[in-house]
A and B are shown apart, each in its own frame.
Chain A
Amino acid sequence: MNAPQLTQCDSRDEPVNENTVPSNHSSSHAARDSSPSSEGERPPLPPRPSTLSLLNDESASRATRQAGPTTAVSRTDIDTQTNEVPGSAYPSLAIRGISQGLKAKASLGHLTSSRGSEAGDTASIRSSVQNGDVGDVDALFKDFVASAPEGHLESTGLLHFPEFPADNVDDDEFLTEFDPVGEIDEDAGNEDLLLERFKAKKKHYLILSAAGKPIWTRHGDGGLISTYVGIIQTIISFYEESEDQLKSFSAGDTKFVIVTHGPLHLVAISRMMESETQLRLQLEALYMQILSTLTLPSLSHLFSIRPSTDLKRPLQGSETLLSSLADSFTRGSPSTLLSALECLKIRKQHRQSINNALLKTKASNLLYGLVVAGGRLVSVVRPKKHSLHPGDLQLLFNMVFEADGVKAGGGESWIPICLPGFNSSGYLYMYVSFLDLRGEVDENEDISKDESVAIVLISPDKESFFEMQGMRDAFVDQMEKNGSLKVIRAAIDQGRPATTDIVPGSVLHHFLYKSRANVQFTMSSFAPTFNSIVRRRRLMSIYNNLHASIHAKNTHVKVHHCVSRSASSFAWVTPVFEFYCVAEPNANRNALVQSATKIAQWVQHEEERLFIIGGAVF
């Protein structure tokens, strides 16, 4: 594979414009190199008819590629996918490809299109592309071919190179993303330094009220960034005044996405190549967290009596929940990406006996009962007429496992919580207790986070703490007796399987499999390839892009294969499941598809162990 040289698309100083960095590496060959060429002095090549010489690189493997019945891959599918590149990178490429001179126009057009319309800027521009600018596209591909001089450095290991410039950081550097910006001195002498640190962050979240009051920001405090909040507020209200709604815009490689819910504006600012849809989902989750703290009626009430209400105070203490949620997005969360839950893999019969223990010990005031091992669901008990919403569980897991407020207390907790998916208008009460499966203290905190097992019992009755405590004691007793605790412990120790455990010799290094009907997913272990936080982030970037590509509007892509210098990746969507996987950059496509097929078969075979189907219902 002619792996293109990864280039710095350092175009942040440009005026507002479409993404300069390809956010979609399905177009990777073209994108990666056309983009710098358009930045450079050299005028872009004129459109010309083409044989898509780029694809010649792939033609060999293409020819041998198995369009096999196993994956229901047809050649047309792949071709379609290759040409019909979804995502925002495409239009920006087209614009650049046409002419530098069009830039100003493009950005204007971009601005106008980004206000209002459902589809947003990308869609509108894309539609024009789809209307037959094939020549330009070809030009781009040509462009790439012409300008891919140092494409072949040595062949690389999987994700040794970041797929995207935003991921081009080492572990320490990435970890600084989560460091506090710091506080302003009394004489504000360090303001410049702090602002520099603030601007160095790759990702920002801001929540402000419609009246312009900052409510929460992930980085920096209100004083430091008030000017930025003011600017955003001005931009948003500019559109509001004309009865319009600003949804997103881009500046250089930075994407701004705005979600408005009643009196709140939530803003995500990302240089991490996430799609608008993905950022929107993240903002929705933050909004859910606010509802979970306050409930919808009290939020509306606060603002209806005083539109200038300062929400900081009512939210006091929940900032850490917002932050840990935001950080899990920044680190990359398969659960959020797929809007699905992960379960602990145990035998069906073992799960059954845990379910039975839950049912047997069920307290009369119980609404939901959960056993959760490090963010993986082990068992659920619920009323017949109420299912659990993945969004609610995400908040709950974030609170229990990610934010330290609950666990560090060391005792049992009793927490009023609103589960907006269940009912956004009132509180439920959540009993949380951690099981000590080890006896001894773990030396590594990360491990213990993955290994801690929580019993979560949710009741509508705020006085039922001791009832829940009694249930917990009886339930744990039962699990002790029937060996379930040992089973859980063994399953945690075993961890997630490596791809090679499932398919010996597989070329795949990691996969995600989402069962659509169960709204659950499973994945292979991150070790050994993705142990470091940065590698994991890069992996998630690849998944983000696969996901964005395959879910792009107006496309009906079923199979999607991308190759870049650092990885080859593959997505496959059927009515039953969504499958995403990653392999070495030079992985044989045949082998890749075969492994994917085998893993999908394995998952379906192990379905009742990997997923909770039905669960305990009363």
Chain B
Amino acid sequence: MSESAGANGPKPSSSVKLVLLGEAAVGKSSLVLRFVNNDFQENKEPTIGAAFLTQKCALPTRTIKFEIWDTAGQERFASLAPMYYRNAQAALVVYDVTKPSSLTKAKHWVAELQRQASPGIVIALVGNKLDLTNDGGDTSAAPETETESAGPDGDEAAGEEGEEQDATPGDARKVSTREASGYADEEGLLFFETSAKTGTNVVDVFTAIANAIPESSLKTGRGAAGAGGQNTLGGRSGDDSRVNLGDRNAATAKEGCAC
């Protein structure tokens, strides 16, 4: 559903600036690599600074061109992060389902984004490395609207039951789906568990984000992303109500005041 090769002739195309944040070694670059090149590298070297990539995502009604800032997770780069999220319309905050401290770090990023980023920013909380858990291949956390498949990477888990479960013996999972999704609900974030290694849910994350960006905030054509015209996002649903994950319109919920 989101192959860039999709017929995008007549459809309007807009660019979305997206930033990835999260602790070092949770798999941010691997998620991007899976999304952009449908590729995976074992033992990837840490990102230095930040990498800028683009990828198109075809929705039924329009084409979204993601301009992705894949930032380095090391602490010494943290002070540069505002530069990348300042005008972003979307953020992927990534943690590692086998490492509780990475969720804590993710929460810090979410808080910082809510405080400092554009008011309407769409934030997705992503628990990566699902392949290391017992429910490795399944789509346990996928929202109902996204159950069909993960797209071109041949998601082997397409038909499986998505059932939540906590850590079991022999399972590397240290962060339960319930805990993370509960937090995501409270904060009004999109929530996914993914595996960049197997491709599970990866494209779904980006598709869900594309869908969650309010139509009104999309500028058409290829604008210079540095122009900084993104602060007019339509995130006016300032209530803290639970968001129906995957719902196209409600994902921007967050507190109304940005600062």
Contact = CB atoms under 8 A, between A and B. Distances in A.
Given A415-B48, A416-B49, A466 B75 contact: no
Nearest to B225: A466
Contacts of B33: 408-410
Contact of B49 (A314, A404, A413): A413
Interface in B1-52: 24, 29, 32-33, 36-37, 41, 44-52
Given A320-B45, A465-B226, A466-B225, A411 B51 contact: yes
B224 interface: yes
Nearest to A405: B45
A413 B47 CA distance: 9
Contacts of B52: 411-414, 465, 469
A410 B36 contact: yes
A414 B47 CA distance: 10
B45 A408 contact: yes
A460 to B, nearest CB: 15
A409 B24 contact: no
A411 B20 CA distance: 14
A317 B74 contact: yes
B224 A466 contact: yes
Contact of B53 (A405, A410, A465): A410
Contacts of A617: none
Contact of B29 (A409, A462, A469): A409
Contacts of B41: 408
B80 A462 contact: yes
Interface string A450-483: 0000000000001101100100000000000000
A316 interface: yes
Contacts of B77: 416
B99 to A, nearest CB: 15
Nearest to A399: B48
Interface in A80-112: none
B70 interface: yes
Interface in B38-97: 41, 44-54, 68, 70, 72-77, 80, 83
Contacts of A314: 75-76
Contact of A414 (B37, B50, B74, B76): B50
A405 B43 CA distance: 11
A contact residues, range: 20 to 34
A384 interface: no
Interface in A204-229: none
A405 B70 CA distance: 12
Nearest to B86: A463
A296 interface: no
Contact of B46 (A317, A413, A465, A469): A317
A306 B254 CA distance: 41
Contacts of A195: none
Contacts of A321: 48
Interface residue SS majority, chain A: mixed
Contacts, number: 87
A462 B83 CA distance: 9
A414 B54 CA distance: 15
Interface string A294-311: 100000000000000000
A78 interface: no
B46 A405 contact: yes
A317 B44 CA distance: 11
B48 A316 contact: no
Interface string A393-421: 00000010001111011111111110000
A405 B76 contact: no
B51 A317 contact: no
B45 A413 contact: no
Contact of B24 (A317, A320, A469): A317
Among B46, B48, B51, B226, chain A packs the most CB atoms within 10 A around the CB of B48
A374 to B, nearest CB: 18
A426 to B, nearest CB: 14
Given A416-B77, A465-B226, A466-B224, A404 B44 contact: yes
A313 interface: yes
Contacts of B224: 466
Given A410-B37, A416-B77, A403 B53 contact: no
B51 A412 contact: yes
B66 to A, nearest CB: 11
Nearest to B71: A414
A399 B36 CA distance: 23
Contacts of B83: 462-463
Contacts of A313: 75
Nearest to A321: B48
A417 B50 CA distance: 12
Residue among A293, A317, A415, A465 with max Cβ neighbours from chain B (10 Å):
A317
Contacts of A294: 76
Given A314-B75, A316-B76, A414 B45 contact: no
A413 B44 contact: no
Interface in A136-159: none
Chain A CB count within 10 A is highest, among B37, B45, B73, for B45
A505 B76 CA distance: 56
Nearest to A407: B45
Interface string B202-244: 0000000000000000000000111000000000000000000
Contacts of A417: 49
A406 B226 contact: no
A317 B70 contact: no
Contacts of B24: 316-317
A294 B77 CA distance: 11
Given A410-B51, A412-B53, A466-B226, 11 more contacts: A316-B76, A317-B47, A317-B48, A317-B74, A317-B76, A318-B48, A409-B70, A410-B37, A413-B50, A430-B49, A462-B83
24 contacts: A293-B76, A317-B48, A317-B74, A317-B76, A320-B45, A399-B48, A404-B44, A404-B45, A406-B51, A409-B29, A409-B53, A410-B51, A410-B53, A411-B51, A411-B52, A413-B48, A413-B51, A414-B49, A414-B50, A415-B50, A417-B49, A462-B83, A463-B226, A466-B225
Q: Which 10 A-B pairs have the closest CB atoms?
A: A415-B49, A411-B53, A409-B51, A466-B226, A405-B45, A317-B46, A317-B74, A404-B45, A411-B51, A412-B52
